[in-house]
Amino acid sequence: MNNDNALNANVGLKLRGLRLQRNIKQADAAKDLGVSPAYLNLIEKGKRVMPFPLLWKALRYLEQDPEQFMSTLGEGRVDEALAKLLDEPLLKSLDIDSESLQSLSAEPKLAGTVAALFNLYKNTRTQLENVLAQLNVEERTRTQGSPSGNGLGNTPGVRFDYSPFDEVSDFLEKHRNYFPELEEQAEGLRRDFRLEQQITSSQLTRMLEERFDYKVRIERANSGSSVVRRLDLDARTLTLSPDLTEQPLKFQIAASIGLMVMDREKLVERILGAGRMRHGETERLIKVNLANYFAGALMLPYSEFFREVQRTRYDVELLSNVFGTTYETVAHRICNLSDPKRQGIPFHFLRADIAGNISKRYSGTGIRFASGGGSCAKWAVHLAFLNPSQITRQYSIMPDGTTYFCFAKVQLQPIEGSIVKGTAYSIGLGTHAENAKYLAYGLPTNDLRKDAIPSGISCRFCERTDCNQRAAASYRFAFAFDEYTKKDCFFSPLLVHEKEKSERNGNPEPDGNGADGSEKHDSLDRAARRRKGSES
C-alpha cells in the first residue's frame, strides 16, 4: 500500500511539474483532459490513482514521451506501473503469470513500450465505441425516415450521441453545480421577507404577489393534461395544480420565482457568458435547471443548510424534516455545496425509476455515466427498490479500482392512493469511499476491497469478466462462447484459460505424453471429433 501511495504521489508530482513548466492552469488542463479540476488536483497531490488511459492522454497533452516519463519516476517504478497495467481486466484474460511478469520487468524499455501500446489500444477501442454509438443513431435516423419520405433522415452533429441533456450535465459539472449569483439573489429575498428556516407555500405566495405583482391560482388542468404549473407572463398569473401537496407545491412556487428573478436580472445571459451551445434546446434546459437550483437555494439557504449538514453528518432524511422539503430536494442541494469557503463533500447524484432508467444525473466525483441513460444493475440506486422503506447502502469498486460509498432511498408519490398512477423514483448519492466515515449512513469496513461490490458503468462497455448479472455482451470483448463450458452468466466473456481447461478435460491427448502438437492447436477439429465421438 505504501508503494502504491508513493507511486501515485510520484506520478502526480511529475505531471504537475510538466504542467507548470508549460504555464498551463489547472482548470484549463482539466477541461482539455475531460475531468473536473477537483479530480485533477487530487491526482497531482497523489490522492487518486491515475488511470492509464488518462495518463496516456495527459502525456500527449503535455507533449511528453511516455518512455522518458516512466524513466523519471524512480528506480523500480516502471515495474510497478507494469504490474498495475497487467491488473487491467482485458489483460487478465491472457493469464500472464508472475514469472512472465518478472521477465518483462527485467527490460524497462520493453515494459514501457508494452504500457504505451496497451494504452494506444485502449484509446483506439474508445474511438470504436464512439463509432458504434454513431452508427446506432444513424440507423435510428434512417429507420424513422425524413419528411420527404426518402428514408435518409437528417444527419445529427459531429457527436451523434451527445444530447442536449448531456450538454446540460457537462455545463453543471463545469461550474461544479455552484452558482453564487443565484445564491445571492435567494439570500436577498429571504432577508427582505424575513423568512425562517422552514418556509411555507403561503409565504412564497406572498412574496410572489408583493415583489413580482403576480397572482396565484389553484386550478385543475384540462382532462388528459398533466401540467402542474403554468406561468403566464402576459396575464401575470401562476396556475398550480390542486394535486400538489405542500412540499412539491413550495418547490414549484420557488422555481417560478427563480424564473422571474433570472428574467429580471438577466442572470442566464450572465452565467452562460459568450459560450455557444451545440443544441438549440440547451439554453432553455439550462434555464430550467437554474430555476430549480434557485428554488433549492431559497428553501435551503446555503449557510444554514451547510451548518445543519455538518451537524447531522449528511443525514438526508433528517435534513428533509428539519427544512420541510423532500428527500430529493435535499439530495440535490447537497450537490451544490461547492463554495470554496464552505465546501462540502463531493457527491454524484442519480435518479432512477423501477425499470432502471436514469432521468437525472450529476457527477461531482469524477464517476463516468454511460450515454443513453443505462447503468449497472449492481448500483445501490437500483437495488433500493428491493427495500423501498429503507436506506440501501454499499461500497462499490469500479473496474479501474476506484471505490465509492453509495446510498439510495425510494421516494414514492402516489396519486389517488395509487403508485401506478403516481411516481416511484430511487434517489442515489455517492462519494469516494474514504468519505464514508464522515456520513451518518456510513458503513464500517476492515477490508474495503473485500467489502466493495464489483460494479461498472453499463453492460455494453463494462470490462468485468466475472459479473453474474450481465444483461448484454460487452463491446470491449469479442463475443465467444463454448457450448461445453457454462459461466454463471451467458454474456460473461469466456477467458482463454477457462476455455483451454475445458478442452483439456474433455479431450485427452492421443498418446500418454501429448506429443501430437497439431491437435493442441486445432481446437475446431478437436471439437468436431469430440462431437463425432459422442454421436457414436
Q: Where are the domains of the chain?
A: 2-64, 164-343, 345-457, 467-502
113: its cell numbers: 513500450
Per-residue pLDDT at 311 exceeds 50: yes
Please tell me if the domain spanning 2-64 has the same topology as the one spanning 345-457: no
Question: What average pLDDT does the segment 441-451 reach?
Answer: 94
| pTM over cut 0.75 | no
- List the one residue out of 404, 402, 403 whose CA is nearest residue 428: 404
Per-residue pLDDT at 313 exceeds 70: yes
Question: What average pLDDT does the segment 442-450 reach?
Answer: 93
Q: What is the DSSP letter of 498?
A: H
- Asked if 392 and 383 touch (Cβ cutoff 8 Å), the reply is yes
Query: Number of H helices and number of E strands within the chain?
Result: 23, 11
Per-residue pLDDT at 288 exceeds 90: yes
> Helices 37-44 and 26-33 meet at what angle, rounded to 10?
110
- Residue 430 region by backbone torsions, left for phi larger than 0, else alpha for psi between -120 and 50, else beta: beta
pLDDT in tens, 67-76: 777 776 654 4
For 166-229, the DSSP string reads HHHHHHHHHTTT--HHHHHHHHHHHHHTT--SS--HHHHHHHHHHHH--EEEE-PPPTT----E
CATH class of 345-457: alpha beta
Q: Rounded to the nearest 5°, which phi and psi values hold at 269? A: -65, -40
Question: What average pLDDT does the segment 158-171 reach?
Answer: 76
Question: What average pLDDT does the segment 164-169 reach?
Answer: 89
Q: What is the pLDDT of residue 234?
A: 94
Gap between the Cα atoms of 8 and 6, Å rounded? 5
Higher local confidence (pLDDT), 288 or 59 = 288
Q: Which helix (H) or strand (E) holds 411?
A: strand 403-415
Strands 392-397, 453-454: pairing is: parallel
Per-residue pLDDT at 151 exceeds 70: no
Question: What average pLDDT does the segment 17-25 reach?
Answer: 85
Per-residue pLDDT at 518 exceeds 70: no
Higher local confidence (pLDDT), 133 or 432 = 432
> Helices 98-105 and 77-85 meet at what angle, rounded to 10?
140
Residue 66: which pLDDT band, with cuts at 50, 70 and 90?
confident
- Asked if 188 and 194 touch (Cβ cutoff 8 Å), the reply is no
Which of 126-135, 136-145, 339-348, 458-467 is the most confident on average?
Answer: 339-348
Q: What is the pLDDT of residue 76?
A: 41
498: its cell numbers: 477457462
- Asked if 70 and 64 touch (Cβ cutoff 8 Å), the reply is no
CB-facing half-sphere around the CA of 502: CA atoms within 13 A: 17
Q: What is the pLDDT of residue 78?
A: 40
- Asked if 495 and 482 touch (Cβ cutoff 8 Å), the reply is no
Q: What is the DSSP letter of 455?
A: -
- Asked if 441 and 394 touch (Cβ cutoff 8 Å), the reply is no
Q: What percent of the chain has pLDDT over 70?
A: 76
Specify the range with the lowest mean pLDDT, choosing from 229-238, 396-405, 457-466, 477-486: 477-486
CB-facing half-sphere around the CA of 228: CA atoms within 13 A: 11
- List the one residue out of 46, 72, 50, 71 whose CA is nearest residue 119: 50
DSSP bridge partners of 429 = 349, 407
Question: What average pLDDT does the segment 313-341 reach?
Answer: 97
Identity of residue 210? E
Per-residue pLDDT at 175 exceeds 80: yes
Gap between the Cα atoms of 7 and 3, Å rounded? 6
Place of cell 520493453: 110
* CATH (residue range 2-64): 1.10.260.40
The set of residues, in sequence order, having a beta carbon less than 8 Å from that of 264 and lying 6+ positions away, is none
pLDDT in tens, 78-134: 455 566 665 666 665 555 665 565 556 555 566 667 777 777 777 777 777 777 666
* Burial degree of 250 (CB within 10 A; 0-12, 13-18, 19+): buried
Extract the runs of DSSP E, i.e. beta strands, from 54-192.
Answer: none
Mean residue pLDDT of the chain comes to: 82
Q: What is the pLDDT of residue 107?
A: 57
- List the one residue out of 515, 536, 401, 526 whose CA is nearest residue 456: 401
Residue 349, SS3? strand
411: its cell numbers: 421516494
Gap between the Cα atoms of 501 and 322, Å rounded? 60
Place of cell 454524484: 348
Q: What is the pLDDT of residue 56?
A: 86
User: What are the contacts of 51-57 at 24+ separation with CB within 8 A?
Assistant: 51/400, 52/84, 52/85, 52/88, 52/115, 52/118, 52/119, 52/122, 53/119, 53/122, 53/123, 53/126, 55/11, 55/15, 55/119, 56/116, 56/119, 56/120, 56/122, 56/123, 57/33, 57/123
Gap between the Cα atoms of 429 and 363, Å rounded? 10
Per-residue pLDDT at 178 exceeds 60: yes
Gap between the Cα atoms of 308 and 315, Å rounded? 9
User: What are the contacts of 272-281 at 24+ separation with CB within 8 A?
Assistant: 277/167, 278/157, 278/162, 278/167, 279/163, 279/164, 279/167, 281/164
Higher local confidence (pLDDT), 65 or 498 = 65
Q: What percent of the chain has pLDDT over 90?
A: 47
Residue 137: which pLDDT band, with cuts at 50, 70 and 90?
low
pLDDT in tens, 249-286: 999 999 999 999 999 999 999 999 877 888 889 999 99
Q: What is the pLDDT of residue 166?
A: 86
